[in-house]
Structure formats: structure tokens, C-alpha cells
Structure 1
């Protein structure tokens, strides 16, 4: 649990500053579950440059509560939370100073979004909150006011959690929680705390270490299966599980890609070693001696570039039968009807005769190329837009020159076709045969998915 906050102060000498405004959002890693926002009477002078920066002046604070009047609420909302702030060293110091004046020892764990951003979003021209959020396409209102800056930090932290592929943030959070509280939750408590949402889940042991990663369209149901199943793997998980965290993705495609990437990165002990490929068959093309483009299904071969890949031969054949019908292709030239003469479809006038050279190669190949163009993203610059984690958000998969670059989430108010914004919000991921298969397979199954082709020069 996190308490994401921002504090505005009077300015002045070190450790003599007073708080003029505070905003705290209690964030469970997915959504805000509580908030506290208040002006505060600092009982001291506000520096002129601070008045100009924030717009907060002494007249506004005359009737505002003093710090001791809001201290209890601050303790309550931050209890059992890690404090998160942009430059947390400053905000945490200010809070501890105020509590010290009251004779109260205020102590919390902290995370700094400046440091996390430098680690997870390198090479930004600036890590100030205003410039960083602008470059990442994060909307900010009321800049230099506690509420506006705290909400911007919430959105930034949510993005950082998505980009944290090594799970540094959640692993350390779990480890601290278990060590401090000596929690030993039973399975029912773990299951009851989980939502029925699409995403990736992480099963942790008592040290916070990830021991299993999975993907599901219903995380609660899937964890329930793990913790009630009698399989050998499930029994091992049941003995070691101390907690389960999850990352809501909204999109099944995002969940599939994150699961594949993070299993490879984190190598959890209970994930079976990934097969070399998660697909077995592929669709290839070549020109025959008569210049016809031949399509054939074969066992996936890493030495050849496939048009698209399939989990098994049966799904590949099913795809080809549909493609032959959709593009009026020849059964013989697609390997579905071995014959030395005309194919069956020619006899019912659904093939134009490429099998017996009645249709010219140029005419036939044009339709084959249409199929190849539709199901291969080789050399293409495009983005795939899918569901987001909430109604105001969408997910995006970025492909540049046929190479999968990564994924991210964006606010509907932003123009995602701006390449600079797009590249900033994307969490870079490895492009490999598994990711290509996941994307192509998902595109085949989800016909209504929004795909935008980009002009990289713009």
C-alpha cells in the first residue's frame, strides 16, 4: 500500500519551513482508495517567491487548520503505507519535522519517483515533475498546488509500476511487509483480496521473492485454482505462497506479452522452463518455377522468416482454409489439396485456375500478397490499441519497422500518434519469436482490434 503525497511549504531556512498545503492519495497499486487534501495554517511567514509560485498567500490560510489539527488524519491515511513522492527526501523531512514539533515520532518507508524515473525511464531531458509528466503525456492540472502535483505523481507512479519489469518495487514492498508484520495469511485471505480482472499475477514466498508468474482474464479465479488444485505444481505453490500481487492490464494482449517477458527476466522457480518457442508451426511462402507464390505450412524453423506462426498444425490448417475462402486462393498452391491436376475448388468455380495455369501468376500473386500484408507486420511502423486498465485509458503496442518495441498505457485525452510521446510512455521489451507469435495470433483472433499505421517521418 502506498501513500502518494505532495506538500507545499512556506520556504525559508532549512528545517524552519512550515506546511501550507498537503495532498495524500492512498493507492493500492491499482487505484486510489482514500484521499486527504487540505490547506494548512503554517503559523509563520510565506516567502514571496513561494506565493508567486503556488498562488497560496497568508489570507488564504487564516481559517485553515493548523498542523496539529490534521496530524491524526495524516497518521491514519499513511498507516502501513510506503510514502511515495517526487523528491520524497524533501516531503518526508518536512512531515517528520512537523511531527517532531508535536513531540511525535513519525516513521514510514519511502519511495522517490525521481529516483525510480531515472532508473526506469532513462535519458529524459529533465526529471522535474512538470517537464517529466509533459514528456510522458501525463495530464497535470494545478501545477505547484499539492492536489495537482500529488495526482500527477499518482499517474507517474502507476506508469513506473508498469515499467518495472524486474519487479523491484513490489518485491521490496512485500519483503518489508512480511518481515515487519510476520504475516502468515491463509489461502482464503489471499484469494478474497484479489479482483476478478485481466492481468498478470505474481506469487511470492515469505521473502518477497517471485516464485511463479501467470496471466489470466480472471486473476481471482486463477489463484483459487492454484491454491485448491491437487497437481504437483499447485501443491508446491500452496506450501510456499505468502502473498500474491498482480498487475491489472485490461488487455489480454498486454497480459500475454508481460507474462512472457517477465518469466524470462525473473525466472521464477515454479514456472516450467519455457519451451524454445510457444508455437510449433508457421506459414511460409516461396515462388515456384512458374512464378506462382506458394504458401505452405511447416514446422517452425528459426532459420526462415515466417509470415505468421501457430500453436499447432491444426490451428494452422484451420487458418489456411479460411484464407483460401477469403482471398479466393488455390487449394493446390496452399498445400490443402495435393493433386497433379486442378484443385477441388476449381471444379466449383471458387478457384480461378492457378492450379492449372489458367490464371496468370501476377493476378493470383496479388491476392496472396494481400493475405501476407494483412498477417505480417514485417517492415511496418504501427501501433495496436486495445483496452486499458480503466475507462479513461487505452493500452498500446508499438511496432517500429517490423520490430516490437514495447507496450504502455495512455490517457484518451492525448494524441498517441505523436512519436515522441509514444516512445516516452512505452516500456521497452525484447523483440523475439515468442512476442511475434503472441501479437500475430492475437491479431488473427481479434478482428476488431484498432491498428494504426504510422508515418515515422512525422
Structure 2
């Protein structure tokens, strides 16, 4: 749990500043579950430059509560939370100073989004909150007011969690939370999980990830783990201390993140070296008569496939439908072995490429249309899919036929600049598995939105 906050102060000498406004959003890693926003009477003068910057003046604070009147609420909302702020060293120091004046020792773990941003989003021109969120396409309102800046920090932190591919933030949070150090009952873990699409992470008591999976219903899938009777399920049941998750909205994003993170994290209860998730592929070659032939064969890493399949039957089903859709020859598509004409020619459904009646140029044009549609080789495009919320979409970026990574953007902010798009993208590895996942998904969901760059 995180307490994401922003504080406005009077300015002045070091450790003599007073709080004029505070906003705290309690964030569980997915949504805000509690909030506290208040002006505060600092009982001291506000520096003129601060008044100009924030718009907060002494008249506004005359009837505001003093810090001791809001201190209890601040303690309550931040208990068992990690303090998160943009330049956390400043905000945390101010809070400790104010509590120190009351004779109370205020201690919390803290995370700084400036430091996290420099690590996870390198190369930005500025890491000031206003300039950084604008460059990332994060909408911000009421700049230099506690609530507006804290809300922007929540959105920034959500992006940083997505970009933290090593899961350092989540693992540290699990390790730091004393409640999660106890061995919870499985039913208590399941009760806190949502029935949404995403990737889930099963942790042991040390916070280490011992299993990663994806599901369109996380609650249901974890319940299956906890009620399973096979050897792996029993090992997971014995070792589990907590379950965290990352909502994706999109099944495609979940599949890509699961594949990437299993390979990177190598959890002990996932297969250490996960085998390739496809066995067969579609290849093409030109015969002695200059016709492009198609063939479903076992996947060969030395050859470049047009697209890949989980098994031979899936490939055969695909090529059967393609023959009908593109009016192709059964013989040249590898479905009908014969030295003469194919069956479809006999029933007038083939134009005769099998017996060289149709010119190679016209036949090959249709084959190339099939290849182009089902392969993203050398293409620059963005696949747009569901986001984690109603007002959000996911974006999967492909450049020159190479999968670059994925990210999320708010519908209120138009992404019309490739540099802005790249700044929100979390880089991910391009490999044969990711290509298979993307191509298979686009075949299954033909209405998925694809933008060509």
C-alpha cells in the first residue's frame, strides 16, 4: 500500500517552513482507496514568491485547521504505507519536522518518483513534475496545488509500476508490509483479488516471486492454484505468502507481459527455460514454374516463418480458410498432393495455377496479399487494444517488424507524436514467442485496431 502525497509550504529557512496544504491519496497499486486533502494554517508568514506560485495566501488559511488538528488523520491514512512523493526527501522531511514539533516520531518508508523516473524513464529533458508528466502524456490540473500535483504523481507512479519490469517496487512493498509476513489463509488472499484480466505474481514470505501467470479472471485462476491437487499446485500452496497482480485490460498485453517476465524473473515454479510456445509455422517458397507455394511445417529457428501456430492442426485450419478467402490453389498451398490438378479446380473453385493455366503473376499477387496480412515483417505499426480503465487504451509498438514494447495512454490525451508514444512504452524483448503471440492474437481477433505509422 502506498500513500502518495504532495505538500505546499510557506517557504523560508530550512526546517522552519510550515505546511499550507496537504493532499494524500492512499493507493493499492491499482486504484485510490482513500484520500485526505486539506489546507493547513501554518501559524507563520508565507513567502511572497510562494503566494505567487501556489495562489495560497494568509487570508485563505485564517480559518483552516492547524497541523495538530489534522495530524491524527495523516497518521491513520499513512499507517502500513510507503510514502511516495515527487522529491520525497523534501515532503518526508517537512512531515517529520511538523510531527517533531508535536513531540511525535513519524517514521515511514519512502519512495521518490524523481529517482524512479530517472531510472525507469531515462533521457528526459526535465524531471520536474510538470514537465515530466506533460512529456509522458499525463494530464495535470491545478499545478502547484497539493491535490493537483498529488493526482499527477499517482498517474506517474502507475506508469512507473508498469515500467518496473524487474518488479523491485512490488517486491520491496511485499517484504516491507508486516501483515504479509504472516502466513495468511488462502481464502483471505483470494478475497482481495479481482475478477479481471491481467498478470498475477505469487510471492513467498521474503517477497520473492515464485510463480507468474496470466488470466482473464485472476480471482478464479488463483482459486484453481489453491485447490489444485497436482504436485506443482501443492508446492505453491505451501510456499505462498501473498499474491499481487497487474491489471492489463487487454489479453494481448497480459500474454506478452507473462511471456517476458517468466523469461526475465525465472520463478522457481514456472519452467526455468520455457519451451517455445509454438510448434509449427507457415513457410513459402517459389517452385520451378515461378508460383509461390505455401507449406505448414515444424518450426525451424533457421528459417523465417510467415506466421506460427501452436500445433499442426491449427496451421492446417488456417491454410484451409486462407485457400477459400484468397482463392488459392489447394496443391500449391500444400493441402492436396497430386501431380495433376487439385480438387478445387475440378469443381471450378481454383483458377488453375496447379496446372499452369493461371499466370504466376496474378496467382502470386493473391498469395502476397495473404503473406502481407499475416506477417508484420518490416512494418511500422501500433496495435490499439483495451486499457485498464474505460478511459484508457493499450498500445503495442512495432518498428520495422520488430516488437518494441507496450504501454497505456489516456483517451483524453491524443498521442500524435511518436516521441511521446515511445516515452510511455515499456521496452520489451522481441523474440519468436512474442511474434507468435501477436500474430495469433490478430488472427483470432480480426477487429483489433491496427494503426500503420
What secondary structure sits across from 1:314 in the alignment?
helix
1:20 equivalenced with 2:17 (yes/no): no
SS in structure 1 of the partner of residue 252 of structure 2: helix
Tell me if 1:391 matches 2:390: yes
Cα deviation, residue 181, structure 1:
6.5
Q: Distance in 1 between matches of 2:83 and 2:392?
A: 25
Instruction: Tell me how far apart the structure 2 counterparts of residues 287 and 138 of structure 1 sit (CA, whole Å).
Output: 50
Q: Give the structure 2 partner of residue 358 of structure 1.
A: 357
Query: Which whole-Å CA distance do the structure 2 matches of 1:365 and 1:143 have between them?
Result: 59
- CA separation in 2, counterparts of 1:262 and 1:426? 16
What is the aligned partner in structure 1 of residue 130 from structure 2? 130
Q: Distance in 2 between matches of 1:303 and 1:117?
A: 40
Partner secondary structure for residue 407 of structure 1: strand
How far apart in 2 are the matches of 1:221 and 1:30? 19
Counterpart of 1:402 in structure 2 is 401
Q: Offset of 1:274 from its aligned partner?
A: 3.6
Q: Distance in 2 between matches of 1:264 and 1:344?
A: 46
C-alpha separation between the residues in 2 aligned to 1:152 and 1:22?
Answer: 14
1:293 aligns with 2:262: no
**Corresponding residue SS for 2:45:** coil
Offset of 1:349 from its aligned partner?
A: 1.6
Alignment partners' CA distance in 1, 2:334 and 2:416: 40
Distance 1:160 1:31 in 2: 14
Where in structure 2 are the equivalents of 1:21-420 lying within 5 Å? 21-178=21-178, 182-420=181-419
Q: In the TM superposition, what whole-angstrom CA distance separates every residue of 1:277-304 from its partner, at most 9, and x where no partner exists?
A: 1101000111111111111111111111
1:428 counterpart residue number: 427
Report the equivalent of 1:437: 436
Query: Aligned-pair RMSD on alpha carbons?
Result: 1.0
Distance 2:343 2:64 in 1: 85
Instruction: Tell me how far apart the structure 2 counterparts of residues 117 and 424 of structure 1 sit (CA, whole Å).
Output: 11
> Are the aligned partners of 2:278 and 2:310 in contact in 1 as well (CA < 8 Å)?
yes
Report how far residue 131 of structure 1 moved. 1.1
1:119-157 deviation per Cα after TM superposition (whole angstroms, max 9, x unaligned): 111111111111111111111111111111100000000
User: Counterparts of 1:355 and 1:306 in 2: how far apart (Å)?
Assistant: 23
Q: Deviations over 1:100-129 (max 9, x none)?
A: 111111111111111111111111111111
Q: SS at the partner of 1:350?
A: coil
Q: Deviations over 1:206-245 (max 9, x none)?
A: 1000000000111101100101100000000011000000
The separation in 1 between residues aligned to 2:156 and 2:252, in whole angstroms, is 23
> 2:213–2:258: 8 Å Cα contact kept in structure 1?
yes
Cα gap change, 1:275/1:185 in structure 2, threshold over 3 Å: closer, same or farther? closer
Cα-to-partner distance string for 1:142-175 (whole Å, 9 max, x where unaligned): 1111111100000000001111111000101111
Q: Is the 8 A contact 2:331 2:337 kept in 1?
A: yes
The SS at the match of 1:37 is strand
State the secondary structure of the residue aligned to 1:20: strand
- Structure 2: stretches of 5+ with no match in the other structure: none
Question: For 1:399, what is the secondary structure of its paired residue?
Answer: strand
> How far 1:410 moved relative to its partner?
0.3
- C-alpha distance in 2 between matches for 1:220 and 1:243: 13
Q: Aligned partners of 1:58, 1:111: CA distance in 2, in Å?
A: 31
Distance, in Å, in 1 between the alignment partners of 2:195 and 2:173 is: 23
What stretches of structure 1 move > 4 A for 4+ residues in a row?
A: none
Aligned residues: 453
For residue 155 of structure 1, give the secondary structure of its aligned residue in structure 2. helix
What is the CA-CA distance between 1:66 and the residue it aligns to? 1.1
> By how many angstroms is 1:360 displaced?
0.7
SS at match of 1:184: coil
CA apart distance, 1:415: 2.2
